[in-house]
Chain A
Amino acid sequence: MKGLTHFVSGVAAATFIPQVVRMSAAGRMDVTGAASSFIIVLAGMYGIMPDTLDFKVGQFFDKPDIIVDPDPLDPDPKEMAQKFAEAVSRSAREGRMIKIQYMPIQLGANRWRQYLIIFGEKEVSVQINEVVSTSQIPYQGTAPDPEKRSATVPLSHRIKPTSCDTDTLNRLVRKTRRFLKGGEKEKTTVKPSTIDILSGTTFGLKMESDGDIYFDWLPWHRTWSHSYILGLMLAAPWALAAYLFKLDMWWMYGVVAFLGFAVHITEDMTGHIGGSLLWPFLKPRTEGFEMFKASDPRTNFSIIYAGFILIVFNLDRFTTNLLTGGPESIWSWWSFLLVFLILPLAVYFKIAARILKRIKKREAGLKFTREEEEPDGTGDPVID
């Protein structure tokens, strides 16, 4: 999910603790325990922390075995595809995960050369596309000449998107997911990857017990950083600092920080990639429940909106008592949530469904082969 979604969720979760809301109220308010505390900020900060660790630190310290940095003036698709084939062969030969990173081609402040990596069962293709803007809009007529446009290279082994060498936790998640979804189609092909703006993409390739190569997309993402244990370790210093500064309810600072972190990891489990929940005790990444796509704007928007309404609801019931619970309030808690949370979201989903229907209608005549991989956590590219 987007960074802001995790951020708002963490804050909303913290506001369910009455003491946290009261100690955060300004000292001038007529609220017992009001201390102008910034404690809630910890929930937001730790709500976005796991992705910050990944995208700002982890990915750069996770050294790839092969780096493909195409020539901006004359990118060679064949050479780029061959590098991938080499990574597959090395993985089979060395029996360990080989990481290959594809770099972006930036041509200007707002111009990037886009390229695609398309995976077949036993082949890989690279296709050089147009120059695109930071909004990923192609500049027409900038595609390379047909002979330099694409190349396909055979692979020594079959690549697959799902691992077969799984641990107990992963098997449990898979079973639960199948139970919840009533069965699921087996994934056989790896989705194509588009590389254009900002940082590039890394693929992990590992030979598994069935003789095929497991294709791990962004192998550095949602591993150690998405662990409840790490969350506890990172939250503890706040409790300790609060204790040393002799703050009231010092332990609450650790609780709130951990809550933000835990909400993030739990939310991510609703997606596809999952996380290494018990790192360092259990290092492999546990798959998600595949309920939503991390980049789905409907999920993100509805969680942010719900978070906002719940924050208002909690701040009011624990401090001002204007909306619900006060002697003169006109709403009961359920009528407030019905009118301001459930009904607006129902209207929103209705509108989103109409827009999607229109999109599908427009695309009815076009044949689409597959969707692309899409990273999450950082939000959409924002021009600023």
Chain B
Amino acid sequence: MIYYYIPVITFYVLLGTLAGAILCFIPALHIYNVAGIAIVAWLTARHLVPYYAVAPFFMSLVVAFSFMNTIPMTFFNTVDESAGATLLPSNAMVMRGRGTEAAIMSGLGTLMGAFLLIALTPFFFYIWPYLAVIFGGHLHWILGLVIVHYIMSEWPKGAGRGKTPFKRWAEACRNCFAGMLTFFLAAVFGLIFLTKPILPPELAFQNIMPVFVGFFAVPSIIQSLLSKFKPPQQYKPKSINADWKDFSYGLLPGFVGGMLAAYLPAVTAGIGAMLAGHTTNHRNLDRARFRAPLEEGEIIHLETPEMYYRQERNFLIAGGVGKILYYVGAFLLLFTITELTPYGTGRGGLAFILRPVFSAEPGDFFVMASTIVFSGSIAFLMLIKGSRIAAEISPKINITVMYSLVLIALSAIVYFIAGGWIGIAIMAATTCIGMIPVFYGCRRSHCMAVLLVPIALNMAGYGESIARLLGLV
């Protein structure tokens, strides 16, 4: 019997890998949106995919997507929320003509993350279930902590210029105010939207799609269009400027950020990376020091430690690790079926989206683990080739035309599979909120309040009070 299953599953894993690789070329789509599109496709052809191949198919799709979306993120500047932390370093490298290196470095981080997921199997089965059960009854205030820290840890970016103390304060803290406004608007939007959804019921499983497209994808595109972003000529590197130490430094923040995002509902890789960065940053282990002058005109020479140079590489690598732990790990946790956790520990949006179409069974974990390795290896090879092709063509592409086409494609997707004109209207409203961080320099992840706040309050049992407060009973 098993001899029959293996080739069939392998076929669907290859199909999933290919689908993931293709879907990533709709830039800036969030993984939840991708899973939604895949489910719509699968539901229309469900008789073609045997039930036992559904999970490997989706797993390979997500694995391939987590590798291949590095390409549009790096070369075309279109990032989803999860990649926010790696935006500056990868952008800087593209501008230095080193986009291929940036993509491969991030991809290597993702590959390392894939192997890390497998290596963590004993952790998932012997330690993780305890943590999941212990924290399970406390998630509402843990999300509350994430919210509070997230808002309070955005520090002023302005220097504080102005004639009066109030003007100084207002100038310095404008990013913080914009962040709070974004957070507040996104939270109110989420509370209304999730308390009384306005999309047709048959699209309910995917109702967050127009919201995410508006928050993250469209502002990214508008930003790139306005800035007339154009990547310069890219080098064709034979090696990447990172050693194995860089990868080992990137592992811990990637692990912490990825696991936070994989387990905590509504906490995405962007928020996870921020928390992980604060937790694990060891840059100051090697502090800036002063030496005798080296150049003419210097009084003392400020020695920039090697660790500072590693920082950007570590961001990219940790971003890659965190990304796969979030995208794939959240899915894999569905399969950690133990006596303590008979229904697995998957809590993310992906688990929610996939719940109606399949349920995990004991023993599936190992099928999923082999799928990750197989699909991940193929996807990484595709990434190497793909990033070289992207490096070749990106300076030649008319970016304005490309972004305009992507914007049309995204609008079409929202129109046809996420609620028609109502979906478009929702996308437009969330685009406006998503633009605030772009123009005021605050964190884009503030938009995640759309899920964070309603979920935390619902978990604590305040759903009813919110509905009353909003008059939406």
A–B direct contact (CB < 8 Å): yes
Interface residues of A, Cβ cutoff 8 Å to B: 2-4, 7, 11, 24-29, 31, 34, 36-41, 44-45, 48-49, 52, 55-57, 59-63, 69, 103-104, 106, 109-110, 114, 116, 118, 125, 127, 129, 133-138, 143-150, 152, 192, 194, 198-200, 295-298, 301, 304, 312, 315-316, 319-320, 322-323, 352, 355-356, 359, 362, 366-372, 374, 378-380, 382-384
Q: B410-450 CB contact bits vs A (8 Å, 1 = yes)?
A: 00000000000000000000000000000001011100000
| Inter-chain contact B153/A3, CB cutoff 8 Å | yes
Are the CB atoms of B284 and A199 closer together than 8 Å? no
> What number of residue pairs across chains A and B have CB atoms under 8 A from each other?
242
Query: Hey, what's the 0/1 contact readout for B265-286 against A, CB within 8 Å counting as 1?
Result: 0000010001101111111111
The residues of A that contact B311 with a CB separation of less than 8 Å are 135, 137
Closest to A305 in B: B279
Of B160, B161, B168, B281, which is within 8 A of A380 by CB?
A: B281
Are A135 and B284 in touch, CB under 8 angstroms?
no
Known pairs A320-B137, A384-B445; A44 contacts B149 (CB<8 A):
yes
Q: By the criterion CB–CB under 8 Å, are B298 and A297 in contact?
A: no
Chain B stretch 79-122: residues in CB contact (< 8 A) with chain A? 84-85, 87-89, 92
Q: Hey, which bits of chain B sit against chain A, CB under 8 A?
A: 84-85, 87-89, 92, 130-131, 133-135, 137-141, 144-145, 148-149, 152-153, 155-161, 165, 168-169, 172-173, 176, 270, 274-275, 277-292, 295-300, 302-306, 308-309, 311-312, 315, 340, 441, 443-445, 459-461
**Contacting pair A127 B308 (CB below 8 A):** no
Give bound CA distance, A283 to B137, whole Å. Answer: 44
Given contacts A125-B299, A315-B138, A384-B274, whether A322 and B133 have CB atoms under 8 Å apart is: yes
7 A-B contacts, Cβ less than 8 Å apart?
A25-B138, A26-B460, A45-B148, A103-B161, A301-B279, A322-B133, A359-B286
* Inter-subunit contact A4/B290 (CB<8 Å): no
Q: Specify the main secondary structure of chain B where it touches its partner.
A: helix
Q: How far is the CA of A102 from the CA of B145 in the complex (A)?
A: 35
Contacting residues, chain B, for A323 (C-beta < 8 A)? 130, 134
A63:B157 contact, CB within 8 angstroms:
no
> Shortest distance in angstroms between B221's beta carbon and chain A's nearest beta carbon?
18
Give the distance to chain A from B303, nearest Cβ to Cβ, in Å.
Answer: 7
- Closest Cβ–Cβ distance, residue A293 to chain B (whole Å): 8
B89 touches A116 (CB 8 A): no
Q: A27-B461, A60-B169 are in contact. Are A134 and B88 (CB under 8 A)?
A: yes
Q: Closest CB-CB distance, B29 to chain A, in whole Å?
A: 21
A-B complex: 8 closest residue pairs judged by Cβ atoms: A149-B297, A146-B297, A60-B169, A4-B278, A36-B460, A29-B137, A146-B296, A41-B144
User: Taking A36-B460, A200-B159 as contacts, is the C-beta distance between A48 and B149 under 8 angstroms?
Assistant: yes
Q: Which of A147, A199, A297, A359 makes the CB contact (< 8 A) with B159?
A: A199
Contact A379 B278, beta carbon cutoff 8 Å? yes
Residues of B within 8 A of A198 (CB): 155-157, 159
